[in-house]
Structure 1
Amino acid sequence: MEYKIIAETYSKIESTTKRLEMTDYLVELFHNTPEDVIDKVIYLTQGKLYPDYMGIELGLAEKLAMRGITKATGIKEKTLGEMLKKYGDLGSVAEEAIKKKRQTTLFSFEEEKNLTVEKVYENFEKIAKAEGPGSQDRKIQLLAELLNLAKPIEAKYIVRTVEGKLRLGIADMTILDALSIAYGRTKELRSLVERTYNIHPDLGYIAKKLAKEGIDGVKDIKIELGIPIRAMLAERLPSLEEILAKMGGKAAFEYKYDGMRIQGHVGKDKVWLYSRRLENLTSQFPDVVEALKEAFQGKEGIFDGEAVPVDIHTGELLPFQVVSHRRGRKYEIEKAIEDYPVVLFLFDIIYLDGEDLTSKPYPERRKILERVINPTERVKFAHRIVSSDIGEIREFFNKAIEDGCEGLVAKSIGKESIYRAGAREFLWIKYKRDYKVEMGDTVDLVVVGAFAGKGKRKGTYGALLMAAYNPEKDRFETVCKLGSGFTDEQLAYLPRKFEDLKIENKHPRVWSEMEADYWFVPKVVLEVIGAEITLSPTHTCARDVIEKGTGLAIRFPRFTGRWRDDKSPEEATTTKELIEMYKNQIKKIR
């Protein structure tokens, strides 16, 4: 398949901010893609080579990419640097560099070979896997080889992809929509593909099954050990009374631990650990691997739980910031285990010895969990009660706070209480402390833009533009400007933190009436606290829902100091959650 077809599709997608038009372009692309390469086309469109859980990244440093362009075109790096200042995007630099080369080089366009998707993917794989002495030169050579074969528009997207900056504004759900339309146009197929994606989050694999075997092939995809499942998520309500009413008068209440969500896969000879974002954490938590192997009494199992840091001197639970010190480490892991030990609190089992347990009600799953896990000092069950008594539940809640937890998670105990992978529903409901003291609860918001600093903040950002996520519209809606709560060190660090996420114009998935000085790809999530939620004629969060012409805004927002690297932007606080928080405030005032 010619790579030019992909590049031209990307160009069309970049020309629109309308999701339906993006979907139409993808449908056309998938129709023009042979079934043998559909998986590669999907991965490339996602800006990757494999699903996230495999942990293989393509990103090539800017300087190495520039050296690859120089090798292919003969244009000096200094000149390329000047072009980069002009265009602000190395992909556009590559496009112009190839144009100049073609204008000054005598060769026959008739003899020119078409660059294929297969060749691009092959070289990208070699770049991603190149290691050891001479690997940098090898990567440069592989990139230059592609650029020598590329047309200008192809060079643009080759460089953007290899640099990890494709940024088409396409979410996975948009790709799911396009696949469903391209291969079926039925509601059954759309819901089936999404459910399959939730238990096997590999769009390339699903697309190939769909292309070769149709809907029956997708139905054959099951939960598989070593492949993470998208985590089930909780809704929120402001009072225990409302929670009980929602759950039919009785529910299970578990501690809501302030730790790191961990999905553990235990096989006969291997254990895998995954984060909520499906990152492979196995090498970073060898102590949890050994503890889970020791506690498990079956052959194969998949578990859902929370890794919580503990004070080695007192046994007290510590806040999330402590366990975050364990993230991303490649060295001194043994010292990190000693300095930041964790306990894994298990609250669900998803799979056991070849059987998918997601369709079983929660009480059944809990019994199975308690049967196959032998608790140890390092692996325990999430503390819980099953109750319909408000007084008992409130006392349990206070104990959870005293024990260092964020609050409780209420779980349905009815027949409908299946494990809904990837879904946020009222089968699970969060109840955190201080819901009743104005905006006593924190929210997790996405950084979508920034404003230039003035005075003491000149040279950095004066404030960040923050947004909530609207899953129905698949977009990020602004809710506040955030300038308080940062230390001087954090403020100085902000430009570096967001440098690789800078884009020239507002991202297609961002809805903002405000004009920021800088726009970013919506990726970074921060924890924010504020004084209250108010109606706003400026911000777009929940626009027209409460009152015509107004949205919701957080008044006097402050950064808590917590970078939510464990959350994807789609897992940030939703528009719906902010609406409920606002309504709860109104109830209190009245």
Structure 2
Amino acid sequence: MKRSLTTVGKPSTPRKKKAKVETSHQSSLDTFFGSPGQKRPGASSGKGKAKLSAGITPVVSELTALERDEAYARALAEQDGLTPEVLLNLEQRASQKAAIPTMSGQPEVIDVDLLDDDDEQPVAGPSKPYTAGTSLLGKPSSSTSSQPPSRKITKPPFSNEIATKSAPTYIPLSIDPTAYDLDGLDWSPNAPIPYSFLTHTLSSFSETRSRIAILNTLTNCLRSISRYHPPSLLPSLYLLSNSLSPPYSPLELGLGHAIISKAIQQVSGLTSAALKRLYTTTGDPGDVAYEAKSNVRTLIPHPPLLITGVYDSLLKIARAQGQGATKQKQAIVEKLLVAARGEEIRYLVRTLCQNLRVGAVRTSILTALSRAMVLTPPSLLSEGIPDTSPFRISPELLSTVKPLPSNSKKKTSDTARDELNEIFTKAEALIKKIYVQRPNYDHLASALLEAALDGLTERLPLTVGIPLLPTLGSPTRSLDEIYDRLGLLPFAAEFKYDGQRAQIHATRTEGQSLKIKLFSRHLEDMTDKYPDVCTLVNTILLQSPNVQSFIIDSEIVAVDPNDGSLKTFQELSNRARKDVQLGEVKVSVCVFAFDLMYLNGEILLEKAFRERRTLLRSQLPPIIPTQKGAARFDHVQSCESEDGREAVEEFWQMAVNSRTEGLMIKLLDSGEVLQEPTAGKDKIRRKPLPATYEPDKRTSAWLKLKKDYVIGLGDSLDLVPIGAWHGNGRKANWWSPILLALWDPDAGKLVAVCKCMSGFTDVFYKGLNERYPLGSDTCAQEPCWDLECDTGGLRPEVYFKPQEVWEIRGADVTISPVSKAAFGLVSKTRGLSLRFPRFIKVREDKGIENASTPQFLANMWESQQGQGKDRGGVDEGELVDVIEVGETDIEEELSE
């Protein structure tokens, strides 16, 4: 069994140990250089242990701590050839309960039995043994004797490697994949991949904003891992995406920042105050750990961390439960930090904090994975890729592709590359289609390694119990716009209920037992949250003997239990979230079903909405259960365009007057619409509009018409708070104004659009301070999160972690020289902003990627211009048209 000894950090094995004395680094030095005969904290008796050479007592009483350190180092070095660096290792070991020579005349020992057991340490490779004629640093000894030093230690030698300077180097990954040399890594086949290679990939991301370079880096990384060690592919996908498991899995890291902070203290020897000063300077826990460990040296060199080992350690942390879970988690974190080197330290801590800052988004990972599988088919395949495969690239074709620089944006004439890109496109479409129907990297990686791209469809079909990503609707602002976009194609208008979207899976097993799962819009498993809905689904299956299994899309809405009338979303949000018992349900709900994606083993995604809706209504009729507390089941209230525009307009007024958010407009049958000629083109284009269910797509076949989107009811956007300034006057202790941003799906980043300081209550401000306290993991002086935020010409005093979506209403959309939102869509030199923005509410049902887009803002501008509402003119610099002066809140007056 291996044992490791580190500079600082407590053993995690259940050995009998002496009580540890908490001391600062300086107090340890002072104690170490105490008066002769003074016993140091943690010193062992030395009975029965291998003894060190005789103690040394240099004259140090009138020297400073640093001078005493140097004097003792020289004295000890003169005795047996040890360098000052090794002495510093010995001094630092005092906090680990291993004995170090005192200044008394009596020798002390190193108790090797107190060293950690590393049977669970995620590292590999033997430590370098001691050989005669070398110093304990592995360098030629200054002694002329051929005998080893007099310190008889049977463990591996000490090392004065500085942690942040000992990581290996790798070839660049951002080069064109066709020119990437897989053999340049010099790895052994089937040998586990070092974690440093993954951190090299992540570090490469931070050096560029080029999408081409990022995709090249990801592709080459995954190709290398897939070829040399396929078992490392799955952990790599999760570590790159800053996750541990599928989104519907209940597995969470559950690692508090206090544990991470204590682990860094143990490993670095720094005090809590010192770490806080580092965090104030750097603003990032990963940078803090990197700096804290920059001068830490290990007594025994640790083998490298492995990708599989790091991921397994994270799983152990996530699964740790019980009374001793906190200590167990901290021990695992300490072991990882002790073994980490160089950039590993930075990205390991960021992973532990679940904030990589440069993590790859899902689309990029899937794109890179598909390209990697095309260029480097898995080595686990028992048979090669068949010549008839649409994803096969012949060596002859690959050899004729001209490599491109990673930052090249110019299109060159290359027939071979065009052919390669066509294959890439097919592979990307396949993997993305499979993933949105089955968002599970475990299943995807396993299927790819076993059957490559050709076998994915058969191996990974849509399955009951595994959620698919939902179809999303595109916002519109009026019924006129809807008729313009859909032309004469028939559509259904449905109430857009103000509730929680739910994807319901149900199936009968062979023993007639039932399995039921409920998933949220973000695929979180919320089965335990709605026992009343589970009871309802059980009733549906019992009353419908012809239905064996189904997947439906629905909205769970709070209702009056007596008459079924609608209630607000706020009342629904008052329900408990976990482990709810049926008898404890106080807010009754109704499940309004609006789509059917799977029925009795048949996948319905490719069928038109009209057919899916007919099956839903015929096979799953409405139910009002008699059991107390059980939920209701009904179909969404709807109206069809075939009934005439007058009927649709009347239905719209019903939605406006009811407790709904508006309407959802859904194309009933697939068709085509005519589009006007664009700039530089004189032909009318035909745009196909499929009425199929499109997972994870904001399709034009689904349009949403919300009350707040409609002209005459006020302009509304869904924006993300990304930063703030310190308030003035009465708001001096609060964040005000708040910088808000749009979500740009093409660039994969947030773009600032306006500052908002109106519509907030004092209670909301206080809650905002609690959610975004300065110096926490949600509020920092520099942006330090995965999502890139383009703040344009403004620099907020603090940055918020993008995690909320707010509904904001404004007076006008205005052209701004500061904002980058919708840049180029309306003006070639300026972006758009919102005048007089006012906070409406927090959209708890929406994620960051569901926020309003630059195109939506541009559409608002164009509609405003068409209505002659160009009152705002041009925003001359600020992203907000109100300011605070002393104790007066001018925005209150302006808003009225």
> Structure 1 residues 190 and 584, CA, compared in 2 at 3 Å: closer, same or farther?
same
In the aligned structure 1, how far is the partner of 2:503 from the partner of 2:720?
Answer: 24
From 214, 217, 221, the equivalent of 2:452 is 214
- Cα 1:66–1:198 change in 2 (3 A) is same
Query: For residues 214-363 of structure 1, what are the structure 2 equivalents within 5 Å?
Result: 214-220=452-458, 221-249=460-488, 250-268=490-508, 269-296=514-541, 297=544, 298-312=547-561, 315-326=564-575, 328-330=577-579, 334-335=583-584, 337-338=585-586, 340-363=587-610
Preserved CA contact (<8 Å) 2:639 2:647: no
Q: Distance in 2 between matches of 1:538 and 1:75?
A: 43
Instruction: Please identify which structure carries the higher helix content.
Output: 1
Name the aligned partner's letter for residue 192 of structure 1.
L
Partners in 1 of 2:758 and 2:484 — Cα distance?
38
- Give the Å deviation of 1:20: 2.8
Distance change (3 Å), C-alpha of 1:432 and 1:255: same
**Cα distance between partner residues in 2 of 1:404 and 1:467:** 28
Structure 2 CA distance for partners of 1:90 and 1:509, relative to 1, 3 Å: closer
Q: For residues 239-264 of structure 1, what are the alpha-carbon distances to aligned partners after superposition, in whole Å with 9 as ceiling and x for unaligned? A: 32332343342311111111111111
Q: Distance in 2 between matches of 1:132 and 1:536?
A: 56
Q: Equivalents in 2 of 1:526, 1:333: separation in Å? A: 32
3-state DSSP of counterpart to 2:293? helix
Greater alpha carbon shift after TM alignment, 309-318 vs 471-480: 309-318
Q: Secondary structure of the equivalent of 1:101? A: coil
1:384 to 638, 644, 648: 638
Describe the shift of the 1:506–1:120 C-alpha distance in structure 2 as closer, same or farther (beyond 3 A): closer
What is the deviation of 1:208? Answer: 4.2
Aligned-residue offset at 1:207: 3.8
How far residue 539 of structure 1 moved from its aligned partner, in angstroms, is 1.3
Q: Percent identity?
A: 31
Once the two structures are superposed, residues 435-487 of structure 1 have per-residue CA deviations (whole angstroms, 9 ceiling, x without a partner) of: 44356243211122222222222233112211112222222222211211111
Partner-residue secondary structure (3-state), 1:271 = strand
Q: Partner of 1:480 in structure 2?
A: 754
1:493-532 alignment runs, 5 A limit = 493-498=767-772, 499-502=776-779, 504-505=782-783, 509-513=788-792, 514-532=794-812
Q: Which residue of 2 aligns with 1:159?
A: 349
Q: Provide structure 1 residue ranges, at least 5 long, that are not aligned to the other structure.
A: none
1:405-455 per-residue CA deviation (whole Å, 9 max, x = no partner) reads: 121111111133110111111111112235443562432111222222222
Write the deviation string for residues 320-366 of structure 1: whole angstroms up to 9, x where unpaired: 2222223644568854x21x221110000111122111000001101
CA distance, structure 2, for counterparts of residue 526 and residue 319 of structure 1: 17
**Hey, what's the Cα distance between the residues in 1 that align with 2:309 and 2:838?**
49
The amino acid across from 2:623 in the alignment is T
What's 1:403 paired with?
658
Find the counterpart in structure 1 of residue 764 from structure 2.
490
Q: Secondary structure at the match of 1:542?
A: coil
Counterpart amino acid of 2:535? E
Aligned-residue offset at 1:381: 0.3
Q: 2:817 is aligned with what amino acid?
A: P
Q: Distance in 1 between matches of 2:261 and 2:273?
A: 10
SS of 2:660's equivalent in the other structure is coil
Shift of 1:395: 0.7
Match of 1:451 among 706, 721, 725: 725
C-alpha separation in 1, matches of 2:599 and 2:446: 27
One-letter amino acid of the structure 1 residue matched with residue 864 of structure 2 = Q
Q: What is the rounded CA distance, in whole Å, between the counterparts of 1:246 and 1:580 in structure 2?
A: 13
1:176 Cα shift? 1.8
Root-mean-square deviation over aligned CA pairs: 2.2
- The alignment status of 1:576 with 2:855, answered yes or no, reads yes
Question: Closer, same or farther in 2 for the Cα pair 1:15/1:460, shift >3 Å?
Answer: farther
- Give the 3-state SS of the residue equivalent to 1:326 in structure 2: coil
Match of 1:343, SS?
Answer: strand
* Structure 2 residues not aligned, in runs of 5+: 1-192, 375-420, 509-513, 625-631, 671-689, 870-896
1:244 and 1:52, CA in 2 relative to 1: closer, same or farther beyond 3 A? same
Aligned to 2:199: 7
Greater Cα shift, 322-331 or 350-359: 322-331
Structure-1 residue corresponding to 2:739: 465
Pairing of 1:98-109 with structure 2 (within 5 A): 98-102=293-297, 105-107=298-300, 109=301
Match of 1:588? 867
Distance 1:22 1:333, change over 3 A: farther
- Larger RCO: Structure 1 or Structure 2 (Cα < 8 Å, ≥ 6 residues apart)? 1
User: Structure 1 residue aligned with 2:836, among 542, 556, 573?
Assistant: 556
- TM-aligned CA distance change 1:12 to 1:3, over 3 Å: same
CA contact (8 A) 1:463 1:482 kept: yes
Q: What is the DSSP-based 3-state SS (H/G/I as helix, E as strand, rest coil) of the residue aligned with 2:525? A: coil
**What SS class does the counterpart of residue 406 from structure 1 fall into?**
strand
The structure-2 alpha-carbon separation of the partners of 1:50 and 1:346, relative to structure 1 and needing over 3 Å to count, comes to same
Residue 144 of structure 1 is matched in structure 2 by 334
Cα gap change, 1:11/1:495 in structure 2, threshold over 3 Å: closer, same or farther?
Answer: farther
Following the alignment from structure 2 to structure 1, what is the Cα–Cα distance between the partners of residues 532 and 299? 62
Residue 510 and residue 88 in structure 1: after superposition, are their counterparts in 2 closer, same or farther (change >3 A)?
A: closer
Greater shift in the superposed pair: 340-349 or 461-470: 461-470
Structure 1 residues 376 and 332, CA, compared in 2 at 3 Å: closer, same or farther? closer
Distance in 1 between the 2:248 and 2:346 partners? Answer: 27
8 Å Cα contact 1:167/1:521 also seen in 2: no
2:425 to 182, 187, 192: 187
| Mapped contact 2:531–2:580 kept (Cα < 8 A) | no
Question: Cα distance, 1:490 vs. partner?
Answer: 1.5
Rounded to whole Å, the distance in 2 between the matches of 1:75 and 1:475 is 36
One-letter code of the match for 2:595? D
Matched with 2:416 is: none
Change (3 A) 1:576 1:519: same
1:333/1:91 CA distance change after superposition, 3 Å: farther
The one-letter code of the counterpart of 2:211 is R
The structural deviation recorded for 1:204 is 4.8
Deviations 1:498-524 (A, max 9, x none): 342335237663222121222234332
C-alpha contact (below 8 Å) 2:234/2:442 kept by paired residues: yes
- Contact 1:42-1:204 within 8 A present in 2 as well: no
Residues 449, 466 of structure 1: 8 Å contact kept: yes
Cα drift, residue 55 of structure 1? 2.5
- Report Cα offsets for 1:288-330 as digits up to 9, x if no partner: 1211222243111111011111234653212222222236445
Would you say how many aligned residue pairs link Structure 1 and Structure 2?
A: 582
Q: Distance in 1 between matches of 2:752 and 2:445?
A: 34
Tell me whether 113-122 or 245-254 shows the greater mean CA deviation: 245-254
In 2, Cα distance between the equivalents of 1:400 and 1:365? 24
Helix, strand or coil at the partner of 1:409: strand
Q: 2: CA distance between counterparts of 1:495 and 1:333?
A: 36
Aligned residue for 1:522, secondary structure, equals coil
Q: Which residue of 1 aligns with 2:700?
A: 426
1:70, 1:76 within 8 Å by CA — same for their partners in 2? Answer: yes
- Name the SS of the counterpart of 1:164 in structure 2: coil
Q: 1:399 and 1:224 mapped to 2: Cα distance?
A: 38
CA pair 274-441 structure 1, distance change in 2 beyond 3 A: farther
State the distance in 1 between where 2:591 and 2:265 align.
Answer: 50
Mapped partners of 2:482, 2:576: distance in 1: 34
Separation (CA, whole Å) in 2 of partners of 1:434 and 1:471: 23
SS for the counterpart of 1:194 is helix
Letter in 1 for 2:471: M
Q: What whole-Å deviation, never above 9, does each CA across 1:522-558 have from its counterpart, x for those lacking one? A: 3321111122222222211111211232222121111
Greater gyration radius: 2
